[in-house]
Amino acid sequence: MKTPLLLSFVLLGTLLVACTLPTTPTAQTSPSPLPDTATVSPTSTPTESPTSTPTNPPTATATFTASPTLTPTLTITPTITELPTLTPTYTPLRGKINADKVSCRYGPGAMYLYLYGLVKGANQDIIGRNEDGSWLLTKSRGDNKSCWVKASLMDINGDPLTAPIIHPDDYNLPKSPFYGPLTNVSAQRKGNEVIITWSPLILRAGDDSLQTPYVLQVWVCRAGQIVMQSLGSYETIISVTDEPGCSEPSHGRITAAEKHGYTKFVEIPWP
């Protein structure tokens, strides 16, 4: 009786074990795990390395950095200071002769040849002066000739020193067509005195002007400044005061007069 019962228990256990055992996984469709080499890692991705990108070097970029010297800066030279409007214009003064008879001469001084006479009350335009204003260059309206009148012999409607200074080269002295320049012009110094000598001009009959025969224009030193003087002489010798102390050299020239005009100036060899 015990044997059949034992068999029954064995058979029952076998059935229970068979029921609890898993079935064979052949019909299973679950995916098998991928191997480790198939996993997508960042190093295995076909990413392009930065060195392989065709980037241009920074020096080849078209960035223009303009240096200060390349900028079109304009440098304007001060040429606008040379405008004609900056030169003051002179409006001629008006003068009236206050003496009965006045000589109007070719130069600023009684040693110059006489051009024509003016009577009291005659009006003249003042167009220039010598350096100290003692003689004035005048002209009658409607006349193209100008001549010099002593300032003290005119009543002037203004300050004559506002008139422009006329350089001796612009005195417009008439030229002699018949006589050459003076000869043997020399000079020697004795202290502050310069003695000038020359040979006489021999005139033909009728050519004497009956006025001052020799005229000198000298630039001499006085009180530290060069001063221009017109001097006349009836002799072939004259003494001129020339002081020391000027930065510019003294000099002079001489001419002779005849009734037609003046001979060519000769430079004086200043000592």
Share of the chain residues as helix, strand and coil, in percent rounded to the nearest 5:
15, 30, 50
Report residue 146's pLDDT band, with 50, 70 and 90 as the boundaries.
very high
The CA radius of gyration of the chain, in Å to the nearest whole number, is: 60
- Provide the pLDDT for residue 90: 78
d(CA 123, CA 138): 9
Q: Which domains does the chain have, with CATH numbers?
A: 93-170 (2.30.30.40), 186-267 (2.60.40.10)
The residue ranking higher by pLDDT, 205 or 52, is: 205
How confident is the model over 131-140, as pLDDT tens digits?
Answer: 999 999 999 9
pLDDT of 89 reads 77
- Distance of alpha carbon 170 from alpha carbon 149, whole angstroms: 16
Determine which of 55-69, 197-211, 224-238 has the lowest per-residue pLDDT on average.
55-69
Residue 241 pLDDT exceeds 50: yes
> Smallest Cα–Cα separation from 137: which of 107, 173, 94, 167?
107
What's the pLDDT tens digit per position in 149-205?
Answer: 999 999 999 999 999 999 999 999 999 999 999 999 999 999 999 999 999 999 999
What amino acid occupies position 102? V
Strand order in the sheet with 237-241: 186-190, 193-197, 237-241
Strand partners, 104: 116
pTM of the model: 0.67
